[in-house]
Structure 1
């Protein structure tokens, strides 16, 4: 199985969500919050598709890549799980480096907040990214779904109904 940026983001958000997603239970298509995030990404930077290219490499799909400047642009709705967003784009940078792109960087954009977060690549990130891949694979290949851990972000998760189905 190819590890994607979504897997890495879910590793840093919720192991249960990661396991469910990787094992074919995908709830994003039913989520209004996910739909709102896609709408923000599609409607905020209208010229982005013309200026940048979509890049798919080693199972990773980067929607907006500035090949000239070697910059990944990632649009997010909110910064609630910013640590997961940073891990996701660092994983993208890791994949780019593995494929011969030297010194890539990334910009995480939060248009609703009018904020940007700049992420630089460091060769020290290689070890961390490889550890994420191993941890992700271990969770994905586990026979059992990880236990439910209640977090503040659960209410806005596309898997919330599934995780809390037995509760009133």
Structure 2
């Protein structure tokens, strides 16, 4: 049986973890981000997240591992990869991002466990690439491709967390 990843060219999609994450957060944000409309650079929440990622777990030395100029993993060792997140408010988006990293690594012949750390909350979530999770990643990749192939951005849909988004003024201002 042919797996979907035999038919998906990850490099052609320029699929990074942020895009997979944004699919679960907001399809409009995904589309805009892909087109170079990146509002996050000076957004307070994003800057706080970057600082947290930079200073959390100072004993870990392998930080921001860039693989294939495509995916950037916050922390990695011989057993696991870790993503550091500011909060678990978008836990499902965080989860699919880590699953995508595990999936990508698997395609490269590398097996790891995944962990999402929420240092401010003193919580962590373990993530495993099960066959079901692999299928979810494959479906997400197809959906990202579908969203990005559209000529127009998806319609803005107001969600409970929109007011804290870097794109809020762009979508609703």
Provide TM-score, normalisation by structure 2. 0.88
| Deviation at residue 126 of structure 1 after TM alignment | 2.3
Looking at structure 2, the residues matched to 154 and 110 of structure 1 have their Cα atoms a distance apart, in angstroms, of 21
Structure 2 residue 115 is matched with structure 1 residue 107: yes
Matches within 5 A, 1:67-82: 68-69=78-79, 71-82=80-91
User: Do 2:64 and 2:72's aligned partners in 1 also have CA atoms closer than 8 Å?
Assistant: no
Task: Flag structure 1 segments of 5+ consecutive residues without an equivalent.
Answer: none
Alpha-carbon distance change, 29 to 53 in structure 1, aligned in 2, over 3 angstroms: closer
Equivalent residue for 1:4?
16
Contact kept in structure 2, 1:55 and 1:64, CA below 8 Å: no
What runs of 5+ residues in structure 2 fail to find an aligned partner? Answer: 1-12
Figure out how many residues of one structure are paired with residues of the other and give that number: 161
Structure 1 contact 58–95 (Cα < 8 Å) conserved: no
Q: CA deviation at 1:58?
A: 6.7
What's the C-alpha RMSD, in Å, of the aligned pairs? 1.5
From 53, 76, 81, the equivalent of 1:65 is 76
TM-score normalized with structure 1 length: 0.90
Separation in 1, partners of 2:64, 2:22: 25
